[in-house]
Amino acid sequence: MESEYKITEYTYRFLKEAEKVFHSGTRSGENRPERATKGRKVSDKEEYFLERNKTTFLGKFEAAERTAEEGARDG
Protein backbone atom coordinates (compact mmCIF):
# COMPACT_ATOMS: atom_id res chain seq x y z
CA MET A 1 0.00 0.00 0.00
CA GLU A 2 2.80 2.38 0.91
CA SER A 3 4.60 1.76 -2.39
CA GLU A 4 1.41 2.52 -4.33
CA TYR A 5 1.15 5.80 -2.44
CA LYS A 6 4.76 6.67 -3.29
CA ILE A 7 4.24 5.87 -6.97
CA THR A 8 1.14 8.05 -7.03
CA GLU A 9 2.97 10.85 -5.22
CA TYR A 10 5.97 10.71 -7.57
CA THR A 11 3.70 10.62 -10.61
CA TYR A 12 1.83 13.67 -9.33
CA ARG A 13 5.08 15.55 -8.69
CA PHE A 14 6.41 14.63 -12.13
CA LEU A 15 3.25 15.78 -13.90
CA LYS A 16 3.16 19.01 -11.90
CA GLU A 17 6.82 19.73 -12.75
CA ALA A 18 6.25 18.82 -16.41
CA GLU A 19 3.31 21.21 -16.56
CA LYS A 20 5.55 24.03 -15.28
CA VAL A 21 8.18 23.28 -17.92
CA PHE A 22 5.69 23.09 -20.78
CA HIS A 23 3.94 26.29 -19.77
CA SER A 24 7.10 28.28 -19.03
CA GLY A 25 6.83 30.10 -22.35
CA THR A 26 10.44 29.89 -23.52
CA ARG A 27 11.69 26.89 -25.39
CA SER A 28 15.32 27.90 -25.78
CA GLY A 29 18.16 26.16 -24.01
CA GLU A 30 19.00 29.30 -22.03
CA ASN A 31 16.92 28.18 -19.06
CA ARG A 32 18.36 24.68 -19.17
CA PRO A 33 22.15 24.72 -18.84
CA GLU A 34 22.25 20.98 -18.11
CA ARG A 35 21.02 20.24 -21.61
CA ALA A 36 24.38 21.06 -23.17
CA THR A 37 26.18 18.57 -20.95
CA LYS A 38 23.45 15.96 -20.94
CA GLY A 39 24.62 14.44 -24.22
CA ARG A 40 28.13 13.98 -22.85
CA LYS A 41 26.82 12.31 -19.69
CA VAL A 42 24.95 9.79 -21.79
CA SER A 43 28.08 9.11 -23.81
CA ASP A 44 30.09 8.58 -20.63
CA LYS A 45 27.47 6.14 -19.39
CA GLU A 46 27.42 4.34 -22.72
CA GLU A 47 31.20 4.18 -22.76
CA TYR A 48 31.27 2.73 -19.24
CA PHE A 49 28.56 0.22 -20.12
CA LEU A 50 30.33 -0.92 -23.27
CA GLU A 51 33.69 -1.15 -21.52
CA ARG A 52 32.17 -3.18 -18.70
CA ASN A 53 30.46 -5.52 -21.15
CA LYS A 54 33.68 -5.91 -23.13
CA THR A 55 35.60 -6.79 -19.96
CA THR A 56 32.91 -9.26 -18.90
CA PHE A 57 32.78 -10.83 -22.35
CA LEU A 58 36.56 -11.14 -22.60
CA GLY A 59 36.72 -12.65 -19.13
CA LYS A 60 34.12 -15.27 -20.04
CA PHE A 61 35.83 -15.93 -23.37
CA GLU A 62 39.22 -16.44 -21.70
CA ALA A 63 37.67 -18.76 -19.10
CA ALA A 64 36.01 -20.83 -21.82
CA GLU A 65 39.28 -20.91 -23.76
CA ARG A 66 41.17 -22.17 -20.68
CA THR A 67 38.52 -24.82 -20.08
CA ALA A 68 38.80 -25.99 -23.69
CA GLU A 69 42.60 -26.15 -23.44
CA GLU A 70 42.40 -28.16 -20.21
CA GLY A 71 39.90 -30.50 -21.84
CA ALA A 72 42.20 -30.98 -24.84
CA ARG A 73 45.14 -31.79 -22.56
CA ASP A 74 43.12 -34.25 -20.50
CA GLY A 75 41.49 -35.91 -23.52
> In this predicted model, what pLDDT tens digit does every residue of 14-66 receive, in sequence order?
888 888 887 776 555 555 555 555 555 667 878 888 888 888 888 888 888 88
Distance in Å from the first CA to the final CA of the chain:
60
pTM over 0.85: no
Question: What is the reported pLDDT for 67?
Answer: 85
- Rounded to 10 degrees, the C-alpha dihedral 40/46/51/57 comes to -170
The CA-CA-CA angle for residues 53, 63, 56, to 5°, reads 10
